[in-house]
């Protein structure tokens, strides 16, 4: 019988603008928290997976970022695997670490994600996003995006000066509006909901509460998206110490959180009517965890823009096709509702330091399952789902990670 990996400790920094802090400084803050919470000295760690995505382009630290960070705590000799997988970087590091523990290769491992995207030279973070697609075949992306006058006009701007992924998400939002009848106000209500959730999270990048009217009145980024509907760039880090059940029992880990399933997959060239990679992998994750969507108590999902939250309600099977707006309006996904979503504030409020985002989701869900989320606590949280996607190829995410956790 498979022995599920155990999360023994987690750590996180506040996400946001940290021009005065380096990549290692941020990573070590999160790692130190996770190790302390797990109750093990750092020299007990047998292997580590270190995720970073944009920081190599922004900071110049390439190839050995994980080793650079851990050496500052005197940790060497062990395998350190550097991971990069677009916005799913940290969740991929987590999945790989969990898999090796579940397979019995290691008893105590570390997964962490770290990111630096803010820089005085704005061309550096812009280059990160410009590279999260197929750069050798840019015409494929233009073919996907051209379909309305607003985007066609934006093509006159240099490619590296466009908000490329906001254009991609705007196209997805327009398609979803046509298919479901969703409105721009529905998207604004998602932003407003998550602004309230984020106001309760001390680690969130933005903590002010917005109304739907304020969201609608904000500057347009790419129609129909306004600024508060779009996730910001950010710096930050998150980490988790993962153990075998045997070792967690020996060490007397308090409030262990079980990893029921953790899956990473790549997008594919789906034929007409075929399910998205998100739908496909969610079904696999539920089956591996032996759960149904009705068993889930809270969700952290990849709302790189607010419309994506409604799209993913449906893709994850949390509601039926076309039911996303009604599901939101029912209050089900708000704190106090049947299935609170993005209690952290989501990417649009907590922030989106892409190399750390996935483990930021894990941190929030571990807090919820342990009953330590304070004023944003979900009552009787026992099973939680994280969905994290990244990059874009064809007409779908390039990478998707899905995790199911249980107390």
By annotation, the residues acting in catalysis are: 87
Question: Which pair of tokens denotes residue 344?
Answer: 């952290």
Question: What are residue 281's phi and psi, to 5 degrees?
Answer: -75, -30
DSSP state of 272: T
Half-sphere exposure of 165 (CA within 13 A, CB side): 31
d(CA 309, CA 301): 7
Nearest to 308 by CA among 282, 267, 342, 284: 342
DSSP state letters, 101-169: HHTTS-SEEEEEEEE----SSTHHHHHHHHTSS-TT-HHHHHHHH-SSHHHHHHTTS-GGGS-HHHHHH
Find out whether 177 and 224 touch, Cβ atoms under 8 Å.
Answer: yes
Residue 176: Cβ within 10 Å count: 21
**CB contact set of 57 (below 8 Å; sequence gap of 6+):** 124, 125, 127, 128, 131
Question: Which pair of tokens denotes residue 327?
Answer: 């599901």
Strands, E, within 297-337: which ranges? 298-300
Dihedral angle sign, alpha carbons of residues 234, 302, 53, 133: negative
**CB contact set of 28 (below 8 Å; sequence gap of 6+):** 69, 72, 73
| Residue matched to tokens 């929030």 | 364
d(CA 351, CA 115): 11
């Amino acid at each position: 019988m498979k022995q599920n990996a155990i999360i023994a400790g987690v750590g996180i920094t506040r996400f946001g603008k940290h021009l005065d802090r380096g990549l290692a400084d941020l990573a070590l803050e999160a790692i130190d928290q996770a190790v302390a919470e797990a109750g093990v000295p750092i020299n007990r760690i047998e292997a580590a997976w270190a995720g970073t995505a944009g920081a190599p382009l922004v900071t110049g630290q390439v190839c050995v970022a994980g080793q650079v960070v851990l050496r500052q705590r005197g940790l060497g000799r062990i395998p350190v695997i550097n991971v990069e997988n677009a916005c799913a970087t940290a969740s991929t590091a987590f999945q790989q670490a969990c898999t090796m523990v579940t397979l019995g290769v290691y008893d105590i491992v570390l997964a962490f994600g770290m990111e630096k995207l803010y820089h005085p030279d704005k061309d550096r973070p812009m280059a990160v996003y410009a590279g999260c697609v197929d750069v050798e075949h840019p015409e494929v992306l233009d073919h996907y995006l051209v379909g309305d006058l607003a985007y066609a006009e934006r093509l006159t701007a240099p490619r590296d000066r466009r908000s490329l992924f906001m254009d991609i998400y705007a196209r997805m939002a327009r398609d979803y509006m046509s298919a479901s009848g969703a409105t721009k106000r529905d998207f604004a209500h998602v932003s407003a909901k998550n602004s309230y959730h984020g106001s309760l999270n001390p680690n969130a990048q933005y903590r002010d509460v917005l109304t739907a009217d304020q969201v609608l009145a904000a500057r347009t980024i790419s129609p129909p998206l306004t600024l508060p509907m779009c996730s910001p760039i950010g710096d930050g880090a998150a980490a988790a110490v993962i153990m075998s059940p045997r070792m967690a029992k020996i060490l007397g880990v308090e409030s262990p959180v079980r990893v029921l399933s953790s899956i990473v997959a790549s997008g594919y060239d789906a034929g007409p009517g075929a399910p998205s990679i998100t739908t496909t992998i969610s079904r696999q994750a539920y089956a591996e965890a032996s759960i149904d969507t009705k068993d889930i108590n809270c969700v952290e999902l990849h709302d790189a823009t607010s419309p994506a939250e409604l799209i993913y309600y449906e893709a994850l099977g949390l509601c039926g096709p076309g039911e996303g707006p009604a599901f939101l309006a029912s209050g089900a996904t708000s704190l106090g509702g049947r299935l609170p979503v993005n209690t952290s504030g989501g990417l649009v409020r907590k922030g989106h330091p892409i190399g750390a985002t996935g483990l930021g989701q894990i941190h929030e869900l571990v807090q919820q399952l342990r009953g330590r989320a304070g004023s944003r606590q979900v009552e009787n949280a026992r099973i939680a789902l994280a969905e994290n996607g990244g990059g874009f190829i064809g007409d779908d995410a390039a990478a998707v990670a899905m995790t199911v956790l249980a107390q």
